[in-house]
Amino acid sequence: MFGALIYDRRLFLSKTAYLQIKRKLEGNNLMEKFCQSCAMPLNTKNLGSEQDGSASMMYCELCYQNGVFTNPEISFTEMLAVGKAGIDQSSSNFITKFMLKALYPASLKRTTRFKNAH
């Protein structure tokens, strides 16, 4: 949903690496296919990175780089604002954006990072 914000790095992955990541993602359950920090859908080109440089299977690249959160202090309310701004900047149409923003607080509360936030 934040397509406009994401630099497409698919071109820099070898086909083997791409397929390995795709298989890993497909092996995980549905919940884990959303970033567990910002609730953005994960795909092969927006995964965060672990300390050893491997792709994170839990977080997107906007939230998580080299094994740490890019914004460790962010609150639930702040993440809501960031997520809604991201939706606004996506290429979705007005109705889709409206729906995504309406559903976003509930999605964010389902993430492991914010499930205890209120």
Q: In the complex, which residues of this chain contact Zn ion (CB under 5 A)?
A: 35, 37-38, 60, 63
Q: How far is the CB of 5 from Zn ion (least distance, A)?
A: 11
User: Helices 94-109 and 76-89 sit at what angle, rounded to 10 degrees?
Assistant: 160
Q: Which is nearer to Zn ion, 37 or 107 (CB)?
A: 37
- Amino acid at site 17: A
Q: How far is the CB of 43 from Zn ion (least distance, A)?
A: 12
Q: How far is the CB of 62 from Zn ion (least distance, A)?
A: 5
- Tell me which long-range contacts 56-59 makes (C-beta under 8 A, separation of at least 24): 57/24, 57/25, 57/28, 57/32, 58/32, 58/112, 59/35
Q: Which is nearer to Zn ion, 1 or 38 (CB)?
A: 38
Q: Which is nearer to Zn ion, 19 or 117 (CB)?
A: 117
Q: How far is the CB of 50 from Zn ion (least distance, A)?
A: 14
Token pair for 38:
């910002």
89, 5 contact by CB (below 8 A): yes
Q: Which is nearer to Zn ion, 19 or 85 (CB)?
A: 85
Three-state DSSP state, 79 = helix
